[in-house]
Structure formats: structure tokens, C-alpha cells
Amino acid sequence: MTTLKRVQQWATFARIWHVFDASWQNPFDSAQLLKKYLLGLYKPIYHPMNDCGDHVIVINCSDVALPGEEWKKRVYFHHTGYPGGASWTLAHELHKKDPVLILKKAVYNSMDGNLQRRYTMERLHLFPDANVPAKLMGNVSNQIRQIRPIPKRLDHYTQKEIEEYPKLIDYPKDYILR
Amino acid sequence: MQSISKINLLNLPNIFLRTISFSSKLQLKEVFETREGNSLVIKGVHAESGREPFLLKNVSEACPVCSSGLDIKHTDVLILSQFVRSDGCMLPRRITGLCTKQQKRMSTLVTMAQKAGLMPNLNPPNSKNDPKKRGGWKKYHKYFDETTINVR
């Protein structure tokens, strides 16, 4: 085995570490994206029996965005197993309890329920903010591109940018500005 | 009426006049008052809105938004803020000059941007400007799908 082949072999089977910024991202769309990396679906050597999944670090999990009114419409069901043990938790209640859980459940539910799922989930590292231990961050060699662009708030533009932006309408002559 | 009677008691006509004079910098018609001896002259002068140099030319007969051909999203706050008062109210159609369809569409987009907390500085004065200080589910990030706008 030549040196090149040896390094190629090592690079093929090494676990790569990816980082993903979840701020303003839909957790359910993100789950479909992260699943691809966690299972190693994008690799040419992929096979269900081949343990070739990567590690993914997700930062800013508390800043995920849900579409429309889903924060108060989406319900998470749990049953303790005892009679009357059913409980329904709204998405915003769950998010307040643990800002990581919505993304965690989204990724967990996006994958098939087999014996590998729990081990695959161990390769997903979720953080509510951008404070990641340096030990983990040192492994990262790839950043996963975000799905949705992060919108910019009006008060984060400078006054000059707002004034000099092309205007579609002007006020009538007799209009009193408020 | 109570405030007027108070002012009459104080016998200060200048204060009373100041309540009806508007001399904001942003005003399109600025009101000036000058006193020459016994006579008081109140003048309304047209002021510049500051938008003329940046105004897009509308050569067609269509409304400004239709003729621009833009696909405006609720995240385009620099466009949407042009149709909004400083307290976040939508300007009426006689002032914006849009067609009924675009007026309805723009007002829906403005509502979406406000719900998503993208225009927190255009709000009534008593509101908390930081979207993170809203209560319950409203404080979390949300986005909207423009295809759900139902304009006929």
C-alpha cells in the first residue's frame, strides 16, 4: 500500500466533524439535512451495515425558527405508561423547558427506528448557544451551509442605509408625517 | 377643552399657538410663526421629504409596486418600512398610491414582518422594542410563507 493509498484509506473511513448554525433555521428541514451527515449518506462507501456516519455540532439551537404560528400549534405527545399518563406539550413550552429538545426530536424522528438510531444520535452534539467546548470545536473541519438566510432587522441597518435605499413611493404634498 | 381654559387663565397666547403648530424636521409642510409688532403671521411651507433623489421612476400606468416587478418578501424590511408610519401603522391607499391587490399584499407582508420582530423600531411608543421581551410563544423566531397570502 502506497503512502497515498494509505492516506486515502484513512481519510475515507475517518469520522469528519461538521458544525451547523441553527439560528433562524427550520428544525424539521434542518433535520433532513443533518441526517445526511450523521448517517454518512453522502459518502460513496455508504451502506446501512457500514458505520460511516459523521459527527455534527449544532450551535444556537435556542434560535431556531418555526413557520407561522407553529410555536403554539405544534404539540408534543408523551405518555408515562400509566392510566391517565398522557400529556401534550406545546412547542414553545418544550422550547422553554429545554431549548435543544425541538431540534433533537426533529433529528431523531427524521431517522428510521432501528438499533443504530440511538448510536447515531450520540454523534449529534447540540448546544443552545455558540459556547462549544474547545475540545469539540477543535475537531471541526467543515461547516454545513444554512438552508434559510438570516433576516436582518430594520433597527440593525444604519440610518444612512435606510435613507439611501431606493424608494418606491413618495408622500403627497399635503401629507403630515407621523 | 380643559387644557384651553387653563391656557386662557395663564394668558399666554404663545403656548396655545404652539400646540397647533407643527415644526418637526420630517414634516412635508413645515409651519412657521413670526410676530411683527401686533400681527402674528403663520406660514405653512412645503418641506422636502428626502425621498426624491432615491425615488424609482414609474413610467407605466401601473402602481409603483406592480411596475417595479419586484417579488417582495416579508424579510425585505427596507421596502416594507416605506409603507409604514413611525408607530407601525400601515399607510392608507390614498397616500401609498398602490393598487388594491398590492396594498392588501403589502399590509399582510408588513404584519408578517412585525410578527417576526423584523421592524421593532416602528412600533407604538409604549411597546417593548426588543422582540425577545415578548410574552410566551411570541418571543421565539418565526418566519412566514408568502404563498399563503390570499389576494384576489
**Interatomic CA distance for residues B60 and B77, integer angstroms:** 25
Q: Burial letters for B36-73: b for 16+ Cβ neighbours within 10 Å, e otherwise?
A: eeeeeeeeeeebebeeeeeeeebeeeebbbeebeeebb
CA atoms within a 13 Å half-sphere pointing along the CA-CB vector of B63: 16
B20/A contact by beta carbon, under 8 A: no
Task: For CATH 4.10.640.10, list the domain ranges present in chain B.
Answer: 56-148
Interface mutation vs chain A, best among B20, B27, B46, B78, most A CBs within 10 Å: B78
In a domain, A178, yes or no: no
**Interatomic CA distance for residues A155 and A169, integer angstroms:** 21
Q: What is the pLDDT of residues B22-42, one digit of tens each?
A: 544 445 667 778 888 889 988
B147: confidence class by pLDDT, cuts 50, 70, 90: very high
CB contact under 8 A, B79 and A168: yes
In a domain, A142, yes or no: yes
Number of domains in chain A: 1
Facing A71 at nearest CB: one of B121, B122, B142: B142
CATH of the domain at A18: 3.90.1180.10
Please give the interface size between A and B, counted as residue pairs whose CB atoms are below 8 Å apart. 129
The domain over range B56-148 is classified in CATH as 4.10.640.10: yes
CB atoms within 10 A of CB B19: 10
**Interatomic CA distance for residues B21 and B15, integer angstroms:** 10
Helices (H), B1-151: 2-10, 13-20, 64-68, 77-80, 93-96, 100-115
**Residue length, chain B?**
152
A84: confidence class by pLDDT, cuts 50, 70, 90: very high
pLDDT above 50 (res B7): no
Facing A92 at nearest CB: one of B54, B97, B137: B137
Which DSSP string corresponds to A71-87? HHH-EEEEE-SSTT-EE
**Interatomic CA distance for residues A117 and A98, integer angstroms:** 21
DSSP H/E element including B35: strand B29-36
**Interatomic CA distance for residues A175 and A83, integer angstroms:** 67
pLDDT above 50 (res B78): yes
